[in-house]
Structure 1
Amino acid sequence: KEGNLNQKQIEFANTIHSSGGDLLELINEILDLSKIEAGKMVLNVGAMSLSHLSSYLEKNFEHVVAEKGLYLKVIKGKDVPEKITTDRQRVEQILKNMLSNAIKFTANGGITVEVMKVTNEDVVENKNLKPNQSIKISVIDTGIGIPEDKQKLIFEAFQQADGTTSRKFGGTGLGLSISRELAKMLKGEIQLSSVPNEGSKFSLYLPYVISENVDAESSEVIEEMKEIINEPAATHVQPMKPKPINVKKINQIRDDRHDLKPDDETILVVDDDPKFAGILFDLIRDKGFKCILAEDGEAGLQMANQYKPSAIILDVGLPRIDGWTVMERLKKNPVTRNIPVYFISAHDEKLNAMKMGAIGYLTKPVSQESLDAAFEKIKSTITKDINKILIVEDDKDMRKSIEELLKSDDVQIKTIDKGKEAIKLLDKDDYDCMILDLGLKDISGFELLDIVKSKDKFRELPIIIYTGRELEKEDEKKLRKHAESIIVKGAKSPERLLDEVSLFLHHVESDLPEEHNKNIKLIPPLMMFLRRRKYYLSMMTLVIFLP
């Protein structure tokens, strides 16, 4: 807390925090290496906007470059396509590593990022990289450069150009080895050219399109990673046996369950790790909330039902029943369904969590910054008075019907019939949920979905596909990568739509006007009656039941 430490103690605390951050980075990089070695690195292939990539790089690195008095330029060739099909997250991971290195090893001048089409003049080893069907993203710096005899060495795990580099500049020596193997998984490669005291140029080559069925367990990549990881380090240190730490069990930590008042904002933590639960308990209290603790899934469900907390922080790996089952039961129970849930787990399964209605997802080990962001999200969700829904549907009657179905005192609804207009609205305002039809007047729902999910701002925006068309398997597979739910218009579709929207807005059925609940209950028998008379209902479903 502010004022608790003198200047010397603040310096020590900053050193501890910095060392902890370095250790966290090392752990995450070793985990990446282990995933690739074990063949567990899964690619999430989809459309990636190269224009948005330029914005991403400028947004994330401009301030770091400015602090060192350097320049940052991003140049995109005119003949470069607007989008490529690849794993955006892994491409960004590679470029983040290359840019971080460029900034780290550059004292004067600056960094230039070039996005260009691969031509016949480019010499590549990978047969997937064909001229005019591939791109190269180059990070060019004016830094210290790398001697020719060290240029292969820096791509090996735990290696840098020389022994003094890590002491002077920091780093683990893992980033480039991970980047090289990720590039191979993306059917690309990384090339390096450098002159000592003049600078370096790292180029990432990628094909325009990689298959959505990329084999992430490529034996060639895995065997190479095994060789990298098993490469003997400069010095092997005998590991020390850790001293036993006396940690209280969760049921020995006195929480706030006996001190709760009706107006208290309470967070329930469901986690079987006593040390981490204790850290969360202190943070929650510091943020002005009351806190109650449960050490397994069964206890968590019972306490959620009994205390009705304002929010829940839920671990996935729990004894007895896991976090996924806990979440499923919470959302099926009308008493607990509207409670916001924030997942924290050792495994990165964010997409599954968001589809189940979670408001956020953190992967352990976590940083102070990510925990602060999580609490901000929880607080904003709890205190939000008005939820905003965007309906993107080309049929006027259908738009009106959906609006009537969902309208409520605490919901603002905006309707639009064009995809490009929807993008403008999303850029201008923050929406809590989007309902999207696939047949729009200007661009298809598929195109809109790709554009929306390529932007950082909208990656956690829940999107419900509400369509009257029959979906091919490939279409459904593509949609499920980005959309939280797919509903085909039919007899029970309004009921399901209402159910899904309430899930993402953290509303319960009882919050809605009584006439809507009555209408929903009338839909199935009415539809059965009309079906017997062979009416075509796919686009009439919502219009019929409303007064």
Structure 2
Amino acid sequence: MEVSLLFDNESRSLKIRGKIALGYLMILVMLGLFLVIVSSRIKDLEQETVFLSDHDMQVHELTYLIEKNVLDMETGQRGYALTGDTEYLDPYNNGLVEWRINYAKLRKLISDNPAQIENLSNIKTNIEKWVTIAGQNVIELKRAGDDEAVNAYFKDDAGKAVIDLIRNQSDYFRDNERKLTSERITELKSGNDKLLITMYVLWSLVALLATIITYVISGSIVNPLRSVIQAIHEIASGGSRSERIVVRTHDEIYDLGSATNSLLDTVQQEQWGSERLSHMSSLLQEVTNLPQLCRTFMNKIAETFEMQYGVIYVLNDLKKYERCYSYAGTRNEEVAMGVNQFAPGEGLIGECARDQRVRVLTELPQDYISINTGLARVAPRYAIIAPVVFENRTLAVLELASLNAWPAYRLELLSELLNMTGVTMNSVMTRVEIQKLYSKSQEKNKELEIQSEELQVQSEELQVQAEELQSYSQELLILNKELKNQKAVAENAAEELEKYNEQLQLSSRYKSEFLANMSHELRTPLNSMLILSQLLNENRNGTLTDEEQTYTSVIYSSGTDLLNLINDILDLSKVEAGKILVEVDAVNLTELPALLRGYFDKTAEQENLTFTIEISAEVPELFYTDEMRLHQILRNLLSNAFKFTEQGSVQLTLTRLEAVQLNAYTSAEPVLAFAVKDSGVGVSVKNQELIFEAFRQADGSTTRKYGGTGLGLSISLQLAQLLGGHVELDSIAGSGSTFTLYLPCREQEPEEEPEAAETEALLAEPVQEESIPAQPAVGGSRQTDMEFQQLQGKTVLIVDDDERNIYALQRGLAPYEMNILSAHSGYECLQIIREQPDVDIVLLDIMMPNLDGYDTLSIIRDELGLPKLPIIAISAKTMKEEREKCLNAGANDFMSKPVDIKDVVSRMYLWLAVNPSLTDF
């Protein structure tokens, strides 16, 4: 049943149906309370019964389980002590875990009984005591091989007394629980008796309350109804329509009286409105022009609705609504307002004309138009803006102001008057328009006569022009043939351009293949050179002089520089070929200072330069870009700054700019500015554009002072542009330089990832090797000892078609006293593994002729059936897909050339460590 049927909307008093429903509802509520109380008590009894059956049984069961756990531990301890067999420790270890679990469950069940919790805590204390003095002590002695101490312990057997005490405490604990169970049963019987008494008392109260409610509700309905009927008879017997029924109760009888009163009001309002419409119609029929119509209409509106001010705006020839007449307005105020006409949609007048909807304005401001009398000036409180519409066309707009608000029936009457006025106004405006058109038509006739004479003269001229056009058409035919010939030439040129484009793509592909192969060919000999120079520099035998160690350091450093040069050339080629993969992710700028200091603090210390990093407060902690490319650009700029600075400082400053506008770069969005400033040699104006070109150097002569390939700045600029930014240079020769990297300050992750370059690029792309299983957290010397112990005596098979790499790895692994085997092809590798199954680990080169590393891996895993043999793949290819390809083929790990011998040893140690999970392929 809806609430509106039970309550009066205004006073929220009960209606007749509501009173009856309330009576039944109160009875039902009492019955409901009766049922709730009884059912609640029944549920309590059920819960008490369940508690007796479940709780007590579970408590007893858990106490026995704890005793069993202790017995298992004692049995396991004695079995291990007698036999030394670790299988006897299984029941001990299981009991050691399970008794604590059972103890926690039991403690939770008796959490409401402090005495039993204390008894249980005593049992726990004795169990832990037995574990300490008996269980764990005997096991540790047995593990240490101290059988005499074990026998001495069992002669005294201090743990037996503890076990006996645990049993006695458990029996005492269970006796207490049995007493509690008996007390609960007694309370349950008493509760049943109280339930019966409660049911009888509640039923008596419900019966008494039902009788009282019935008497009260019947009286509250009948008495007001009689009063309403008497009032209706008095009105029907000849009373005037001005009389109204008064009902003091707010129910259906009140609604009946209110409906009758509303009916009388409506009849009176309709009669009043009909009279006003009839009078307005007769007045408008006498109107002959538009100003008279506006004046008559506005005056009658003011009289009808007790309006104190009004203005009417009429549509003019310029399609604007111009002030035509105002009621009770003053000239000074209207001139001060300054607006006499409105275009559709301009101001409230224009909006009303456009959407043809009545607007009611309340709470008008004090500076609104004033209503003037001879004694006072008063601001209106209520205004109406209404359109005069005929056939969906707004002919005029009224603005009316009053001191009092209008009731709804007056607004309805206004709407009808506006419709009537729209018909009359359209007739008047049409009559005026017809008169204007008639006058214009007469003027047009005179103009047409003049134009006909002019047309006759023009026709003669056109005949002459036709002859000229015929000669032009012949010339156009000739021109059309020439255009067709040019079109054919253009199509041939387009085909030639397409062929040229295909040749460029093919050339780019050959270039990519060449660079990839060059990378492999350079990295392979570079691998052995770096390993051997590193081994020489370590001077393991102590046979090298300081000068010779310096030579090896120079060799190692030169090899590293060569590796960096290879990477720079590959980076530049990837950028030019559009094959760089941009991976946008969150970059934590708070980590940037520590990262860059790790790279350059040592350089700054060696060059005796001051190196500072400053981050402004407005810079966000996180922003989104390609972190690897950002670090590459900053490292290039800082390396360049240190290279060309002999004294003074190098400074990195990070700021946030709301916008930036440079000659080569403009951004209306916020950007981050990474400014690298140095006090070095600076760059002259003529060289500031050239240094960003590939292979340009500060001094290109053979005697140049500064080294480098001239690739770093070119790569940095192109990477910055790839990230949506720019690198700007500000420098004066001899006064230092400032390279500023501008990047978009994206503080939210982009909805769409930027378009990536081709993933199938043949160019080598350096990858960061995935993390491998963590090494034991030990010191350097201890780690070396552990690696020696683990690798000593193990058999390692080195597979590589380049003898130099095999030799370098053999020399690097020599100090670890391993059994080193070598193979120069995949076939030779498979033969050695078949003949010598004791191979512990394989270092496998991937790029080999005939049978490469991928096929060799597959044969070892599938055909030879060796899924657990650790195999570390080594490849000169550094593409991102290379690692995954090797691991999918069956390798346990992947390393890219050139390798570091310490890294090789560390990886071998990990895969040979005593951890079966690492060798499960």
Query: TM-score, structure 2 length as denominator?
Result: 0.34
Q: Identify the residue that residue 162 of structure 1 maps to in structure 2.
A: 699
2:911 is equivalent to residue 507 of structure 1: no
Aligned counterpart in structure 2 of residue 216 of structure 1, from 757, 773, 777: 757
Q: CA deviation at 1:180?
A: 1.7
Deviations 1:465-522 (A, max 9, x none): xxxxxxxxxxxxxxxxxxxxxxxxxxxxxxxxxxxxx7xx52338xxxxxxxxxxxxx
Change (3 A) 1:162 1:371: same
Q: Identify the residue that residue 177 of structure 1 maps to in structure 2.
A: 714
Q: Is the 8 A contact 1:348 1:363 kept in 2?
A: no
The 3-state SS of whatever aligns with 1:154 is helix
Change (3 A) 1:92 1:325: farther
Q: Is the 8 A contact 1:153 1:161 kept in 2?
A: no
Q: CA deviation at 1:192?
A: 1.2
2:844 is equivalent to residue 314 of structure 1: yes
Q: Identify the residue that residue 32 of structure 1 maps to in structure 2.
A: 571
- For 1:307 and 1:173, the matched residues in 2 are separated by 53
Q: Is the 8 A contact 1:75 1:115 kept in 2?
A: yes
Q: Identify the residue that residue 471 of structure 1 maps to in structure 2.
A: none
Aligned counterpart in structure 2 of residue 274 of structure 1, from 782, 786, 803: 803
- For 1:107 and 1:179, the matched residues in 2 are separated by 23
The 3-state SS of whatever aligns with 2:619 is coil
Change (3 A) 1:144 1:360: farther
Q: Which residues of 2 match residues 73-88 of structure 1 at below 5 A?
A: 73-88=612-627
Change (3 A) 1:319 1:154: same
Q: Is the 8 A contact 2:842 2:871 kept in 1?
A: yes
Q: Identify the residue that residue 658 of structure 2 maps to in structure 1.
A: 119
- For 1:328 and 1:42, the matched residues in 2 are separated by 31
Change (3 A) 1:380 1:114: farther
Change (3 A) 1:324 1:124: farther
Change (3 A) 1:286 1:318: same
Q: Identify the residue that residue 344 of structure 1 maps to in structure 2.
A: 875
Q: Is the 8 A contact 1:193 1:201 kept in 2?
A: yes
Q: Is the 8 A contact 1:340 1:506 kept in 2?
A: no
The 3-state SS of whatever aligns with 1:347 is coil
Identity %: 32
Change (3 A) 1:508 1:363: closer
The 3-state SS of whatever aligns with 2:543 is coil
Deviations 1:36-75 (A, max 9, x none): 3444433444333222233211112112212222222222
2:731 is equivalent to residue 194 of structure 1: yes
Amino acid paired to 1:214: E
Q: Identify the residue that residue 559 of structure 2 maps to in structure 1.
A: 20
Q: Is the 8 A contact 1:266 1:289 kept in 2?
A: yes
Structure possessing the higher relative contact order (Cα contacts under 8 Å, 6 or more residues apart): 1
Change (3 A) 1:287 1:106: farther
Q: Is the 8 A contact 1:271 1:315 kept in 2?
A: yes
2:896 is equivalent to residue 363 of structure 1: yes
Q: Identify the residue that residue 323 of structure 2 maps to in structure 1.
A: none
- For 1:212 and 1:320, the matched residues in 2 are separated by 42
Q: Is the 8 A contact 1:344 1:362 kept in 2?
A: yes
- For 1:185 and 1:166, the matched residues in 2 are separated by 35
The 3-state SS of whatever aligns with 1:506 is helix
Deviations 1:157-216 (A, max 9, x none): 221123369832321211111222222222222111112232211122223367534343
Q: Is the 8 A contact 2:580 2:756 kept in 1?
A: no
- For 1:151 and 1:309, the matched residues in 2 are separated by 60
Deviations 1:374-413 (A, max 9, x none): 224225414645xxxxxxxxxxxxxxxxxxxxxxxx5xxx
- For 1:273 and 1:12, the matched residues in 2 are separated by 25
Amino acid paired to 1:347: T
Q: Which residues of 2 match residues 205-284 of structure 1 at below 5 A?
A: 205-207=742-744, 208=746, 212-216=753-757, 264-284=793-813
Change (3 A) 1:50 1:309: farther
- For 2:686 and 2:639, the matched residues in 1 are separated by 22
The 3-state SS of whatever aligns with 1:201 is strand
Q: Identify the residue that residue 138 of structure 1 maps to in structure 2.
A: 675
Amino acid paired to 1:118: L
Change (3 A) 1:49 1:326: farther
Q: CA deviation at 1:7?
A: 4.6
Change (3 A) 1:43 1:281: farther
- For 1:283 and 1:93, the matched residues in 2 are separated by 32
- For 1:6 and 1:79, the matched residues in 2 are separated by 55
Tell me the C-alpha RMSD between the 2 structures: 3.6
Deviations 1:77-104 (A, max 9, x none): 3333333333322222221111111111
Change (3 A) 1:106 1:74: same
Q: Is the 8 A contact 1:140 1:200 kept in 2?
A: yes
Aligned residue-pair number: 344
- For 2:855 and 2:624, the matched residues in 1 are separated by 34
Unaligned runs of 5+ in 1: 219-261, 386-409, 411-501, 510-547
Q: Identify the residue that residue 294 of structure 1 maps to in structure 2.
A: 823
